[in-house]
Structure 1
């Protein structure tokens, strides 16, 4: 069977679209369509269901991708590894959430950058990062969403502790952790909230795990960056739930105060995600290893 046809098939399977696959392969869309049809004729089974927006793999398509993709990735890794030799001079296409990437990931990769690695970073949600990784737009993604299927491989990186914080004047008004511990979530009803999204994902997780209830609150401010949430909270706009690593300095100098210290704080796990077989590429493997080593101190 022609390896070029299989490569095109795997690219379409990951991209979810003939058009996106054509762009990744440097081919025309009709050429990609023709190659997939040729492969389907050879196998005697349809591999994709055509939709209004892109394609969906059939059961046969998923089975073939599961069997073929790791071997194609390994061949690519061997080829690129021989050409590259090491990480110097290579470009790592990295993706992750903006705050964690800025404050954790990029500083950790700086030694490799000084050695010659070039990094191009992109931000996005967990679903967007997985789709971009599968489509070949990224080499390595840092995400809190575990990927499904076997085309992507995830390695746990670190846990992130969440903290309920407020400016000192709000903390004084509430009466301290002991009062809040006694009254529970009712003590917070009606207080202003600052969130990173309208759905208040961090706050809802905190309420569910600490208070065992749903929050009866709405946000007075929503800003799509946790660093901006921290600044709003510190300025007195309202309460917020933030990762401890992000607000540790502000807690240390008293700009914000932890309203509660539960015995088991809510945690969120970050993972490093790559396409299966991509760790055979030296520059991806070195970045992956570097981040795992750095995360031991996070």
Structure 2
């Protein structure tokens, strides 16, 4: 324990008014703070605080010491924080995510970080493939649409943001649906409409149908394209109906190119996760995680 550490502990006690509060701020135990204070008082040959019901009351010697060390210590802490921030912006972070989310949300959110020297390398793909690459050490961070399965050890998942899904169609297609039948038997009312799918197993559409209608969609599939932006374009062009994240469909809904075909009391949600390898997280990866979580607080459900 250096003398500088002892002075830093003293200053926390002085400013917070108790050993317990100082220990919480420093992330150490209260006995550890008491021991550091005792060591400093022994070196100085002076009592620095009187214990009372009000906490730790500074003595005149404590006031004098605080006046001399507070400003230099604060300046040193600021310099160390700036150096840590600079080091966190060095190096490369390899990220994996879906292309649509990367283009619409992740790139704009993370672009400010590259001005400090951080490099970002994106790999676009499906969640299962990206999680496999992460487990094999090929990626540092994955924004995943699924929680890593229990059998895939060595990965840590943190909830990031929720996606809200909507079933959409062109206004012309929407008018072909019998509204009375849609209210009574939506599965049958929608069965004649072709589906534009994200994948051959209808991953997003199937989840919506099972959640809302209780079974897999019986509809024919008109097109399969593994890019939700292309799915959106196909639906706008009249190729069929599909289920899309609201953030992706919102511009077309606002423009009147698409309509929400089926309204639910609670819109289906899917949680996205920030997934990293277990163990210590490198500073640049921590910086990216922090920036994404900060941005997600302004987005709300996507």
Match in the other structure for 1:86: 87
Secondary structure at 1:174's aligned position in 2?
coil
Determine which of 232, 247, 250 is the counterpart of 2:249.
247
How has the CA–CA distance of structure 1 residues 175 and 218 changed in structure 2, closer, same or farther, with 3 Å as cutoff? closer
Contact 1:162 1:266 in 2 (8 A): yes
Q: Which entry has the higher C-alpha Rg, 1 or 2?
A: 2
**Relative contact order: is structure 1 or structure 2 higher (C-alpha 8 Å, sep ≥ 6)?**
1
Match in the other structure for 2:169: 166
- Structure 2: which 5+ residue stretches go unaligned? 1-82
Distance in 2, matches of 1:259 and 1:212, equals: 17
253-262 or 121-130, which moves further after superposition?
121-130
Match in the other structure for 2:158: 155
How many residue pairs match? The answer is 215
Distance in 2, matches of 1:297 and 1:83, equals: 26
- TM-fit CA distance, 1:114: 2.3
- TM-fit CA distance, 1:182: 2.6
Contact 1:108 1:294 in 2 (8 A): yes
TM-score, normalization by structure 1: 0.68
TM-score, normalization by structure 2: 0.67
Distance in 2, matches of 1:250 and 1:84, equals: 40
- Structure 1: which 5+ residue stretches go unaligned? 1-81
Distance in 2, matches of 1:111 and 1:85, equals: 14
- TM-fit CA distance, 1:139: 0.8
Contact 1:181 1:260 in 2 (8 A): no
RMSD: 1.9
Distance in 1, matches of 2:259 and 2:230, equals: 17
- TM-fit CA distance, 1:145: 2.0
Contact 2:86 2:116 in 1 (8 A): no
Determine which of 263, 270, 283 is the counterpart of 2:272.
270
- TM-fit CA distance, 1:124: 2.1
How has the CA–CA distance of structure 1 residues 278 and 169 changed in structure 2, closer, same or farther, with 3 Å as cutoff? farther
